[in-house]
Structure 1
């Protein structure tokens, strides 16, 4: 069974999908580079926030699972989550 992603994250990604469509529309309309870049920057920021939220949610679930299994040492799990965030940049 896979990870159950919260609806909030899915909604956030659908919003990003709409932003991407908006950027494409700006391009189709021949809008200035400054407008396109500003919108792409907003997409990148929103994507970074979604990524951080996904990693945080997953980290919380992994820690809870480890604690339920009797493992109180969660340092490795936290390091792995931090590495995921670093790799994403």
Structure 2
């Protein structure tokens, strides 16, 4: 299985996960303080979207690494690959 080597993508994913972690702590605090269920549900929805977004980004990073290693360093291939992966990320984002 592939390992995420791109530092920029790694940093982006970690930031997304840390943001979701902060949101989860906020939800725990809301429950402890007796907030309304509707407000808590709204925050839970936001966390789910954040995790879905991180998952999509991770999937695209995996695909990019795997395809790049197979296509090599051809400039035309890299441009086509980037365009294709942008479309894949858009399509995956729509199924959330």
TM over 0.5: yes
Change (3 A) 1:2 1:56: closer
Q: CA deviation at 1:44?
A: 0.3
- Which digits, 9 at most, give the CA deviation of each residue in 1:46-81, with x for residues without a partner? 11011000000110000001113xxxxxxxxxxxxx
Could you list the runs of 4 or more consecutive aligned residues of structure 1 that deviate by over 2 angstroms after TM superposition?
1-5
Does residue 35 of structure 1 match 2:39? Answer: yes
Does residue 7 of structure 1 match 2:8? Answer: no
Q: CA deviation at 1:3?
A: 2.8
SS state of the match for residue 35, structure 2? coil
- Give me the TM-score of the superposition, normalised by structure 2: 0.67
Pairwise CA RMSD of aligned residues? Answer: 2.3
1:44-63 map, 5 Å = 44-63=48-67
* CA distance in 1 between partners of 2:52 and 2:33 (Å): 27
Number of aligned residue pairs: 73
Structure 1: stretches of 5+ with no match in the other structure? 69-84
Structure 2: stretches of 5+ with no match in the other structure? 73-91
Question: Larger relative CO (CA 8 A, sep 6+): 1 or 2?
Answer: 2
